[in-house]
Structure 1
Amino acid sequence: MSTDHIQFNRVTFALPVQPFKVTAFISTEERLPAVTEFVLRLLHTCGRVSLAAFRDYFGFSEAEALSVIESLDRQGYVSLSDDELTLGEEMRQRFEASPDDCPWVTKLKKRSDVVPFDLLTFSMLGRAEFAFATENWVKLNPSPDIVGSSVERARRAYRESFGRIERESARSRGEERERSYGVHSIESVEPRKAGFVPLTVSMEVDARNVFSARLPNEFEAGASLELLTEFRERMALSFEAQSCDGDGGLQDFLQIFQLDFLQPYAVGAALNVHKLATDVERGLPAPAGVQPIFGNLCLKKNRDVVLSLVHEARTGHKGLGKHFGSVAWMAPDYEFWGRGEDFRLMVDALRKTVRIGQKGDDLFVFDRAQERQEAAVRGRYAGTGLVELHLVRPDATANTAWRSSVELMLYPGRFAVAVLHMPLEAAPGVRVGVGFISTQSKHLRTVHQMILDAANGNRYAGRWSPNRDGAASRSMTLFEQCPFLAYCDIQVPASTGGSVIDA
């Protein structure tokens, strides 16, 4: 793996697109009928041909020869003077301009195309596949003035993009592009149902701890410069809208979990992000039972570690018995967490793994929602495969605000995960995840307590269906809905962790 740029999150943005059916007349260049072209090429080669020679060569009668010549003369293709036949001036010029010694002629041709344009710059998107976005994606919605003038914008964009449209159309048919002078007139423009193109952006940091967003290669190679610029600007505005004050809670996080081995990377409230990421990738030494992780928990490298631990617990490993239970996953209060394909893959894999060997266990995700904001939060999980979504009320206590930025995961009795999503310097609204996976009892207790602090009592807002509108299920307590969190002791063998301490 290259350490020049290290990935710490992947977010799926939804680029708004809309197909338009455009019916137009285009000016095309076409070959003439075979017999007509043969006559003209004969005259082009010979220069002049007498009427008698023309008649005898083709075996025409006098009347037939005159009829053919009159027809070609009316179209300006030939000229008859003193019983001698020559090419017309326009046709002579066409032969001179032709790259293949064929007399191409211009004709108006009616055609219809269904062309998708993005709704940010109205650039043609070629063969881009688009879908109707879920709320789990971060939508870059177009401005109202663009939506209101979309037909006129599509009309103009069709003219400007016609060369590319023609190439794409010919390629899809397996044919060569038509010889065309462009659009003569546009008869109609019919908008079709709008949709979105999902674009998963890799969020990375370089050796100077500078943030960059890497777009999908295919999109970056095929999109116009105008669209790429606008997309990046809209993406940056989305990040900046989520910027917040505060130091991010790094020192509090390191202290509460006793992560002294990470202190060399902390400079006060700041973090040497790239150095830490590089060392984690190379195998940063850590206390027994602790594995440092860098970046979002949904990244494949981190996902594989979590899945391996769950699988080992449920199948038995290294002499340990099977250990069944559900998984609790507390989302951080961060707009760009869990947005996209990586989260869906994580949910799918975790739900499958956590049901190995015993039915009834599942993945329980907890997220924060203010009163009357539950539907918006619930909607972000639609289409992800999640079943158990539980909402809690945010904690507004100032001295613990950093805790809402901590992502927590607990497999009771086996392992815990804590990841602090802290602000990245000089990148407003962008956060980078740093944390650990641990089998130490003290970490399991602390993570368990933090989940209960955030979700128990009057903060618990019930179980909500990610895929159906409506209120929460009937009023129940946290422990009634999530009984696996009500255990009273840690069932971790002493060999896998340190001493048990109170959180």
Structure 2
Amino acid sequence: MEESKVQYNEVDFLIPTQKFNIRFSYVTKKGLPFIREFVLRLLHITPVKPAKLKEFFDFNEKELEEVVNDLVDKGDLSVSEEGDLKLTEQAKGYFDDIGSQPTLSAVLDNSESLTYEIIGFNCLGPKHKNSTWKNGIALKADIEKVSQSESVVNKKFQQEFFQYLDNGWMPFLTQDEKSKPSIYSIDLIKKVGQGPTRLNINFEIDVDGTPVEYDSPGAFTDNSQVEISIGQKLSEMSFTPNLESVVQSMMAFDDKDTIKYFSSSSIDIANLVLDKNKGIQSKGKRIPVFGQIYSDASSQLIAEQLSNFNKYLKKSKKFEPRKFIWVSPTNNAWAASTKASNFWNTIEEHSLISDGKQKQRAFTPELYLPISDKGDRRTISKWIMEFGKKESLYGVAEGFLNGNTEVVVLDGVFAYVNYHVVLADYTPLPVPIGYFTTEPKVISSIMKLVNDYVNGISSFDNPNKFGKLTEL
């Protein structure tokens, strides 16, 4: 099936939330005791003489007197001039129609814990579990709204109470279509927790090279405020056009093919997709690629290569571990998804193979992450938080091919090069585009270029490689 659009980037937006304990009173309907109910149901059909009531329920004189007096005291019965027992207007109000079950309104107390995102104040329900402030782009809520969040939730809870019931968020409130409970009063709203919820947004381009407007279908009851906040955040990030710099990176790799998919203002998606599909079908040694390296399609491509490589090693009696290097680009949209850290976990899992008795290292994984210097504690902490406290994480000086190029290479097996391209007035995020290759000479050339930078120096006595992040 021909693709009508392709995903070029994806981002997890981290939306601030707050959890509230809400104590409230509600009005509901409850049934009546057996005798009271059926006496009233009989009289709702027609008034009767006391003797008829006695006969119908097989009361003795004392029982009849007690039942009648009790219902009169409760304001449910009166006696007509003809001596018939009949319902008062109060008791008639217990019934919806003839023959229905009589019910009384009752005010009951209850409490619930609900989580709200605090940009548009959409309720996320009682069982929502927050995410973490990592691998994503954080959105900020309006400070004034945050300071008044308990008041806003008070209003929202009352306005949306019936929707919460329909969502099944308060199953303890027995209800049917004719007698839904309703709010009587809000007694207490207290903030008891906070954190982010994660909203994944895919960014796409259609086959004509036109960016597709991003959206978040069904994420919340009302997406409008969150989408405004996302738009504002993307505008703030404001990536600088870099095609000229990317072309220089292509020249460094002696890559004469990728540039053909670019013009100064657009990307030839149709031919890129066509060439990619041809390359996959023919099992070519070079395949054009599009999107983040940790996207589903690209990570699957790399995982398949690693699986095949490990199968090959298992058949070999002796082998030395290869070197696996991932050099990240320098832009703040990179790794803004849990798929980035999940991808690295997958790489580490494939780095060891087992013969059933012991594990052997197939390759040594090294992830090089850009930092300004050894004292860049903020960035170092950020990378460790996002990828974990791993021995495989290294700090490297910012500026590998001007920060616009990303490389994954397994020595002698494959290489994946991604250029993160920003065209003027085109897409809100960089467009990763490049190639995957299994050509030995090309892999060797790419590995050399990467090693030259990682092991090089930026100035006298200032090596590009700062060492393991856990040791900085």
From 225, 240, 245, the counterpart of 1:245 = 240
Q: Distance in 2 between matches of 1:99 and 1:284?
A: 73
Alpha-carbon distance between aligned partners in 1 of 2:118 and 2:423, rounded to the nearest angstrom:
31
Q: Which amino acid aligns with 1:367?
A: L
- 1:327 and 2:324 are equivalent in the alignment: yes
Residue 27 of structure 2 is matched in structure 1 by: 27
1:265 aligns with 2:266: no
- How far the C-alpha of 1:350 sits from its partner, in A, is 0.7
- Alignment RMSD (CA, Å): 3.3
Contact 2:321/2:362 (CA < 8 Å) preserved in 1?
Answer: no
- In structure 2, C-alpha distance between the alignment counterparts of 1:188 and 1:171, rounded to whole Å: 17
Q: Tell me, in whole angstroms, the C-alpha distance in 1 between the residues paired with 2:372 and 2:282.
A: 38
Q: Distance in 1 between matches of 2:270 and 2:377?
A: 37
Counterpart secondary structure, 1:183: strand
Match of 1:17 in 2: 17
- Confirm or deny that 1:389 pairs with 2:393: yes
Whichever residue aligns with residue 231 of structure 1, its letter is V
Does 2:347 match 1:345?
no
Specify whether residues 425 and 85 from structure 1 end up closer, same or farther in structure 2 by C-alpha distance, changes over 3 A only.
farther
- Given the two structures, how large is their TM-score scaled by the length of structure 2? 0.84
Deviations 1:357-398 (A, max 9, x none): 633943211122234543335324425454422222323xxx
The alignment status of 1:374 with 2:377, answered yes or no, reads yes
Normalised by the length of structure 1, the TM-score is 0.79
1:234 is aligned with what amino acid? S
Instruction: Show the counterpart of 1:211.
Output: 212
Distance 1:369 1:383, change over 3 A: closer
Residues 338, 93 of structure 1: CA spacing in aligned structure 2 closer, same or farther, 3 A cutoff? same
Alignment CA distance shift 1:261-1:130 (3 Å): same
Moved more, 310-319 or 159-168: 310-319
Cα offsets for 1:282-335 (capped at 9, x unmatched): 547999632221111112221122233334444438999956223111111121
Q: How many angstroms does 1:49 deviate by?
A: 0.7
Pairing of 1:178-189 with structure 2 (within 5 A): 179-189=179-189
Q: Which amino acid aligns with 2:348?
A: R
Residue 221 (structure 1) aligned with residue 226 (structure 2) = no
Q: Is the 8 A contact 1:254 1:260 kept in 2?
A: yes
Do the aligned partners of residues 57 and 123 (structure 1) sit closer, same or farther apart at CA in structure 2, a change above 3 Å counting?
same
**Within 2, Cα distance between the matches of 1:392 and 1:80?**
95
Structure-1 residue corresponding to 2:465: 460
Does residue 88 of structure 1 match 2:88?
yes
Taking structure 1 as reference, are residues 456 and 79 closer, same or farther at Cα in structure 2, changes over 3 Å only?
farther
Among candidates 290, 296, 303, match of residue 292 of structure 2: 296
Matched, 1:114 2:109: no
How far apart are the structure 2 equivalents of 1:451 and 1:441?
15
- Residue 188 of structure 1 and its aligned partner are, at CA, apart by 1.4
Question: Taking structure 1 as reference, are residues 286 and 369 closer, same or farther at Cα in structure 2, changes over 3 Å only?
Answer: farther
Question: What's 2:356 paired with?
Answer: none
Is the counterpart of residue 125 in structure 1 residue 124 in structure 2? yes
Contact 1:135 1:380 in 2 (8 A): no
The CA deviation at 1:54 is 2.0
Partners of 1:173 and 1:105 in 2: how far apart? 18
Q: Are 2:360 and 1:358 aligned?
A: yes
Query: 2:276 matched to 1:280?
Result: yes
Cα distance between partner residues in 2 of 1:86 and 1:28: 26
Q: Distance in 1 between matches of 2:250 and 2:382?
A: 33
Give 2:198's aligned amino acid: P
Aligned partner of 2:242: which letter? D
Q: 1:99 & 1:263 partners in 2: Cα distance?
A: 80
Instruction: Evaluate the alpha carbon distance shift between residue 78 and residue 174 of structure 1 in structure 2; reply closer, same or farther with a 3 A threshold.
Output: closer
Change (3 A) 1:25 1:77: same
Cα deviation, residue 342, structure 1? 1.5
* Alpha-carbon distance in 2 for matches of 1:423, 1:75: 78
Q: 1:115 to 1:127 in 2, by over 3 A?
A: closer
Task: State the secondary structure of the residue aligned to 1:306.
Answer: helix
1:3 is aligned to 3
Whole-angstrom CA distance in 2 between matches of 1:127 and 1:162 = 13
CA distance in 2, matches of 1:98, 1:447: 83
- Structure 2 match to 1:423: 422
Q: Output the CA distance in 2 between the equivalents of 1:256 and 1:287.
A: 26
SS at the partner of 1:391? strand
> What is the CA–CA distance in structure 2 between the aligned matches of 1:236 and 1:455, rounded to whole Å?
40
Distance 1:214 1:318, change over 3 A: farther
Gapped regions of structure 2 (runs ≥ 5): 354-358
Counterpart Cα distance in 1 of 2:30 and 2:188? 25
Q: 1:192 aligns to what SS in structure 2?
A: strand
Residue 445 of structure 1 aligns to a residue whose secondary structure is helix
Distance 1:162 1:404 in 2: 51
| CA distance in structure 2 between the aligned counterparts of 1:128 and 1:3, rounded to whole angstroms | 38
| Aligned CA distance change for structure 1 residues 237 and 98 (closer, same or farther; 3 Å) | farther
- How many matched pairs? 454
- Judging changes above 3 Å, is the alpha-carbon distance between structure 1 residues 131 and 456 closer, same or farther for their aligned structure 2 residues? farther
Matches of 1:278 and 1:98, distance apart in 2: 69
In terms of mean alpha carbon deviation, does 235-244 or 183-192 score higher? Answer: 235-244
Q: How far apart are residue 5 of structure 1 and its match?
A: 2.5
CA displacement 1:383-416 (0-9 Å, x = unmatched) = 5454422222323xxxx9x631111122233332
In structure 2, C-alpha distance between the alignment counterparts of 1:410 and 1:222, rounded to whole Å: 37
Aligned equivalent of 1:40: 40
Distance apart, 1:260 and its partner CA: 3.2
Q: Which moved more, 1:184-193 or 1:60-69?
A: 60-69
Specify the SS of the correspondent of 1:26.
strand
Q: Does the residue aligned with 1:382 lie in a helix, a strand or coil?
A: helix
Give the secondary-structure state (helix, strand or coil) at the position aligned to 1:358.
Answer: strand
